[in-house]
Chain A
């Protein structure tokens, strides 16, 4: 190739490279459309099925369920949703998928949706009218529906009013031998025990969950199937009721406008108050707190008010456990009965077995890091701000028992089967009103410490909590929050901080801080953990001394001082 042609070729390539580089650098990217979030109120469903289709070729379809529901109010849900052999509506779509794989699913969707739209002469039939590009980034965020004790109690009451008061209306279990659903009274569990396919289950439940997973029976599917079938049935029944009967039932308790919201020509659907079928009625996003559920009756499952926990062949005395009191303090049985509603010792043996994931019974009750164990739950409560001032610095129960003091274990392990006795509430003993701490006063004046007020406050906090009163049997337990190594059996009077904490650094005991930091960490640490707003800054506890702070340290680094104080030939000193 001659030199000239080569030159032209190379320069052309260079020009192309430069041009493309410039366009890359100076081009503006397409702005992403704003993210829109739809909630349960909108009653719209996002059809994307990314688990089948993977990355979508066309944007997701936002399906207006409400519109379709209202259009087919008379015909009912079976217009679109299939029924199973038990005549229950299964809330899945499409009705029938012929064949396997993503293409079959797509074809089923298209067949069922588009056919109906063509027949009714309403609704989109072309690609872009369902797969709308602008809605590609819309997110449908429906909060989890909660079925708490209040809801359960309401259902129990309503169903017994209609004469259906056996738990078998909703609760069932799966018999692995017969491979079918059976009702076994006395061993009802929560739906999630078998139908929560995301959580790993122990060997007992894993076999049943496997069957549920094979049939695609997740909590979402079975809750819609189980709940909505009953609700829809009764909704139809209510709709067919006589107008006079309806008025007679409601007139006394309610006003006309409660049902006839927009004029007397029509009334709101019965589902507004009774059997809800709208998404937003169950998926409210509001969850009742434990305090709100405190007085709601818990389900009867054969539990005793006081359970005496006694393990065969164990070394410790039995524990009288007030199940009734503990029931009222949780929003779900599953907080403690994390797998099934059996007693802990059924799965957790003395030495550990596979059913309990190898965790032995002692750890099941005492593991401080666990959420299900006794000690773990109590530990979590002590990290709340009323308690954390002292309890943040007290080691967890399992570390405390390394130096077992008789009082630590005997509080629970009493061996008595009778009612676990609640100790009397505490009262402030005769202690000094105010203590002036002046041992270190130099840059600051003496600190006036309101000793009695603080103890009064702590006593009040302790007495207001059942858990605290049970464990704080003796006023000494409160004193030990600050007088932390105090042992009343060996002392004539409570020691002062400076009896153990020296003013200067203790080279031999690095873990015993100097007196200045003992005061500051004890006081400031408690104030910080209790999230107090006062008594956090220096001057709030001790005033500055009259002469101001003296120079803190006497010995200086002479060689460094010399090089820092010579100002010879300093040309430019910025501000």
Chain B
């Protein structure tokens, strides 16, 4: 190889690497402040929840879903088994028997700081709004990758529709834009649900723990789990007794694949060039070989 070819190869390599980085999707920093606005969240205090399920009823009413029966007799049967959210219920309240008695836990979308569902959506139908709400838009293509990527198993698919939607809590995004509290927070009779900026509710959660250390486990679930969530939970008993996973880790789920994904455009541009370079070098080498062979034949007097 001569100097010119070497420099050509180097030059194209560097140029493509920079281009590759420019082409890769911008990394969305999900810090506390996005566009100068703070994340909004809900503090869920499971020591206050009495399992009345008014949150389920209010959520159904404001979202046009079938309203569940929350009379005393219905609650007795419904609360017997641990339920998941469904495509008709964005939030459910579950009853757990723990070492400290009965605990009721409302379960709903956690509105993670760096959501796996948003990162995995190929058409950006799942959006993390600047105010923290994770909302779903109708340009969804029904691939269900968000269901795979959610560590809390929240997004639910409408299997019974020909044009299906993904259904999940969106922290009452429309009501928020009208300056009103989320429906579940507004109706909770014991204020087990409290809404505010993430900073405010974290402060309040920590204040409650320090004010009554024998009444709370010294841990706010969602402060750092899965990179931090906007629905944060306080509890009297260890969280694995009330249906939370203990092995969540503090790394946001998109980070697990972010490295690999970022490398894709770089490799996609570099590899053809590399192959090209190898092909050129091989061809040049072969030409030289043919030349040498012909010279030898000449010298021997053959043709």
Contact = CB atoms under 8 A, between A and B. Distances in A.
B299 interface: no
Contacts of A510: 194, 196, 200-201, 203-204
A80 to B, nearest CB: 47
Contacts of B172: 557
Contact of A521 (B175, B180, B191): B191
A552 B58 contact: yes
A407 B190 CA distance: 32
Query: Which applies to chain A's interface (DSSP): helix, strand, loop or mixed?
Result: loop
A555 B175 contact: yes
A573 interface: yes
A564 B65 contact: yes
B108 interface: no
21 contacts: A392-B215, A399-B211, A505-B186, A510-B200, A510-B201, A537-B72, A552-B187, A553-B183, A553-B187, A556-B61, A556-B63, A560-B63, A560-B64, A560-B170, A561-B63, A563-B138, A564-B64, A564-B165, A569-B162, A570-B162, A571-B162
Contact of A395 (B185, B207, B211): B211
A519 to B, nearest CB: 8
A524 B161 contact: no
B173 interface: yes
Given A514-B191, A520-B190, A552-B187, A574 B160 contact: yes
A569 B212 contact: no
A23 interface: no
B175 A557 contact: yes
A514 B173 CA distance: 23
Contacts of A573: 160
Interface in A520-552: 520-521, 524, 537-539, 551-552
Contacts of A553: 58, 61-62, 183, 186-187
A558 interface: yes
A572 interface: yes
Interface string B185-227: 1111111001110001101100110011011000000000000
B160 A557 contact: no
Please name the 7 residue pairs, one residue from A and one from B, whose CB atoms are nearest each other, closest first. A561-B64, A517-B191, A569-B162, A557-B174, A564-B64, A510-B204, A513-B191
A559 B174 contact: yes
A524 B104 CA distance: 15
Given A395-B212, A538-B52, 7 more contacts: A517-B191, A552-B186, A552-B187, A553-B58, A553-B62, A556-B63, A557-B63
Contacts of B156: none
A507 interface: yes
Nearest to A522: B190
A511 interface: yes
A366 B65 CA distance: 55
B120 to A, nearest CB: 21
Interface in A107-129: none
A539 B71 CA distance: 10
Contacts of A517: 48, 188-191
A516 interface: yes
Contacts of B162: 569-571
Contact of A557 (B165, B170, B200): B170
A453 to B, nearest CB: 24
A520 B62 contact: no
A571 B161 contact: yes
Contact of B160 (A521, A555, A559, A570): A570
Interface of A: 369, 392, 395-396, 399, 505, 507, 510-511, 513-514, 516-517, 520-521, 524, 537-539, 551-553, 555-565, 568-574
Contacts of A565: 64
A265 B57 CA distance: 81
A556 B64 contact: yes
A571 B161 CA distance: 6
A185 to B, nearest CB: 44
Contacts of A551: 61
A521 B194 CA distance: 14
B145 interface: no
Nearest to A573: B160
Nearest to B58: A552
Interface band, chain B: 35 or more
A564 to B, nearest CB: 4
Contacts of B65: 564
Given A510-B194, A511-B204, A551-B61, A560 B174 contact: yes
Contacts of A516: 189, 191
B50 A524 contact: yes
Contacts of B195: 505
B189 A520 contact: yes
B165 A563 contact: yes
Interface in B124-167: 138, 160-163, 165, 167
A526 to B, nearest CB: 13
A555 B178 contact: yes
B72 A538 contact: yes
B191 A552 contact: no
A555 B61 CA distance: 10
Nearest to B184: A553
A574 B87 CA distance: 12
B181 interface: yes
A128 to B, nearest CB: 45
Given A507-B196, A517-B188, A557-B175, A569 B163 contact: yes
A552 B50 contact: no
Contacts of B180: 555
B110 interface: no
Nearest to A569: B162
A557 B135 CA distance: 12
Contacts of A569: 161-163
Interface in B242-259: none
A451 B234 CA distance: 33
A558 B64 CA distance: 9
B112 interface: no
Given A517-B188, A564-B64, A552 B57 contact: yes
Contacts of A564: 63-65, 165, 167
Contacts of A505: 181, 185-186, 194-195
Nearest to B201: A510
Nearest to B200: A510
Contacts of A514: 191
Contacts of B48: 517, 521
B54 interface: yes
Contacts of B54: 552
Contacts of B174: 555-560
Nearest to B191: A517
A406 to B, nearest CB: 23
A33 to B, nearest CB: 32
B196 A572 contact: no
Nearest to A570: B161
A524 B196 contact: no
Nearest to B193: A517
A513 B189 CA distance: 10
B62 A555 contact: yes
Contact of A524 (B58, B165, B190): B190
